[in-house]
Amino acid sequence: MAVKVLIVDDSSFFRNRIEETLGSDPRIKIVGTAVNGTEAVEKATRLRPDLITMDVEMPKMNGIEAVRQIMQVAPTNVLMLSSLTHEGARVTLRALEAGAVDYLPKDIRAWMDRSSDLRKELIDRVVALGTSRNFNTNAAFGRSPSASGSSTTMVFRPEPSVPSVGSTRDVEVKSALEARRQHVSRVHSGQDQTVSGLSARQQDSLSKVSTSSLAKPTKLPDCRLVVIGASTGGPAALQAILTRIPSNFPHPILLIQHMPSTFTKVFAERLNQQCAIEVREAVDGDRMRPGLALLCPGGMQLMIDPRQTDKLKIIPGDERLTYKPSVDFTYASAARLYQSKVLGIILTGMGADGCEGARRLKEAGSVMWAQSKETCTIYGMPQAVVNAGLADAVLDLNDIGDLLSAPNGKK
């Protein structure tokens, strides 16, 4: 059945371009358009689309208020279209707090040029989100913690990168590329079923079988570092987890969220305002410490300095790696230097980034947790880890937050 889409934008140019792009794919059916937020709420209620593309700035009612009302009267996955500016990032995060599930850059030049990359990205995102029934109903994102501290294919187009330089960086890039090469080899030889050859029903059955014997943990494993990877739906998931963590959390935390460079700084600042722990965008040379969560800047890669293992290196996104930032890259770096003392957590997202890094962590003796399908916006990245047999536990989002909030055992 085709994904039913409602297009909301006060610009006839963007409405036409979006309709033209989505209408070219047989998996998608345009059920209506709206020119302002008021009309969007009315048509969302009447037409019951599977997904809504939403502009931010519109007359009568803006996109943020429209999302808020739609989530109250007709919960629907909403994909925001916003500019790649500091203000665009701030407004987009407000839309996610209101209930939107994801967003895409609104680059006028790419839309005018009918960019094939943008076309594929929009279609892929709409199909994935339109078939998901896990809505961002704002159960957690945007709420401040209490005094106690409780409360993808790549998601964005790669930014310009430079050739690899320096022996340390090249080792990490080659490590990630070798992991990918081995993964492709396993797929072609029939040894790995995490990607091709399985229907959605078969993958779901495999996931259920592989998780049925996993025991639910009651406390954090013996670790020195927590590394969390996320993509589509990640901002809300990360906020739900991080706002539960107390200020005296005993380990440093590294965050890898697929997000453009103009968004990561704003996102980190917003999390820092809401969390008991300190959260900020990582810079080259940062030192890790307990109670500090460092978010990898968009378009870059985050690795641990092999000469000073409490120190980070932030390096340009290498053109040989698809994801910028890459969960695989940071997982592999952590596995190489911290061996069995890492807790890897893979959250909601399209694609399979993190799967090969998870394999490296497991080979080193570390522990991997995956977010459950029932609480994921998109069960892509966690599913790849689960189906590859690399997850030690599959947990609901709230359970992950609870375990991190009481590292020595359940409250």
Give the residue among 179, 354, 175 at the shortest CA–CA distance from 258: 354
| CA-only gyration radius of the chain, Å | 20
> How confident is the model at residue 268, as a pLDDT?
97
Give burial (CB, 10 Å; 0-12/13-18/19+) of 113. exposed
Domain limits for position 15: 3-130
Please give the C-alpha separations between residue 410 and each of 21, 218, 394, 404, 407, in angstroms, as whole numbers: 49, 6, 17, 9, 8
User: Looking at the predicted structure, is the pLDDT value of residue 384 above 60?
Assistant: yes
- 69 and 211 in a common domain: no
In-domain check, residue 20: yes
Domain assignment present for 143: no
Catalytic one among 151, 175, 231, 372? 231
**Tokens (6 digits) for 196:** 């091709």
Does residue 122 sit in the same domain as residue 207?
no
The mean pLDDT value for 378-407 works out to 95
Q: Are residues 24 and 111 in the same domain?
A: yes
Q: Give the DSSP H/E element, type plus range, for residue 362.
A: helix 355-363
Q: Please indicate, yes or no, if residue 23 is contained in any of the structural domains.
A: yes
pLDDT at residue number 196: 36
* Candidate from 213-222, 279-288, 367-376, 387-396 with smallest mean pLDDT: 213-222
Does residue 152 lie within any of the structural domains?
no
Q: Which residue has the tokens 């993808």?
A: 152
Listed residue (127, 148, 163, 138) closest to 5, CA to CA:
127
Percent of the chain having pLDDT more than 70?
80
Within 8 A by CB and 6+ apart from 185, the residues are none
CA distance 130 to 128: 6
In a domain, 266, yes or no: yes
Q: How confident is the model over 83-110, as a mean pLDDT?
A: 84
Annotated active-site residue in 353, 372, 399, 405: 353
C-alpha to C-alpha distance for 267 and 293, rounded to whole angstroms: 12
Does residue 159 form part of some domain?
A: no
139: in domain: no
Output the DSSP codes for 160-183: P-----SHHHHHHHHHHHHHHHHH
Active site (annotated) includes residue 151: no
Residues 400 and 352 in one domain: yes
User: How far, in Å, CA of 281 to CA of 302, rounded?
Assistant: 11
Strands 292-295, 102-105: pairing is: unpaired
Structure tokens, 246: 């107390």
Structural contact between residues 391 and 370, judged by C-beta atoms closer than 8 angstroms: yes
Could you give phi then psi for residue 300, rounded to 5 degrees?
A: -120, 175
**Torsions phi, psi for 266 (to 5 deg):** -65, -40
The question of whether 132 is a catalytic residue gets the answer: no
Per-residue tokens: 59 = 């007359």
Evaluate if residue 152 carries a pLDDT over 50. no
How sure is the predictor about 217, in pLDDT bands with cuts at 50, 70 and 90? Answer: very high
Under 8 Å between Cβ of 55 and 6? no
Q: Is 80 exceeded by the pLDDT of residue 338?
A: yes
CATH number, position 62: 3.40.50.2300
| Residue 73 sits in the same domain as residue 215 | no
Mark whether 179 and 105 lie in a shared domain.
no
Could you give the number of structural domains in the chain? 2
* pLDDT given for residue 170 in this prediction: 56
Q: What is the pLDDT of residue 395?
A: 96
Catalytic-role residue among 251, 258, 333, 399: 258
Total residue length of the chain: 411
Domain shared by 173 and 124, yes or no: no
Same domain, 13 and 101: yes
Query: Does the annotation mark 399 as catalytic?
Result: no
55-59, 74-78, 106-110, 290-294: range with lowest mean pLDDT? 106-110
Residue 189: other Cβ atoms inside 10 A:
8
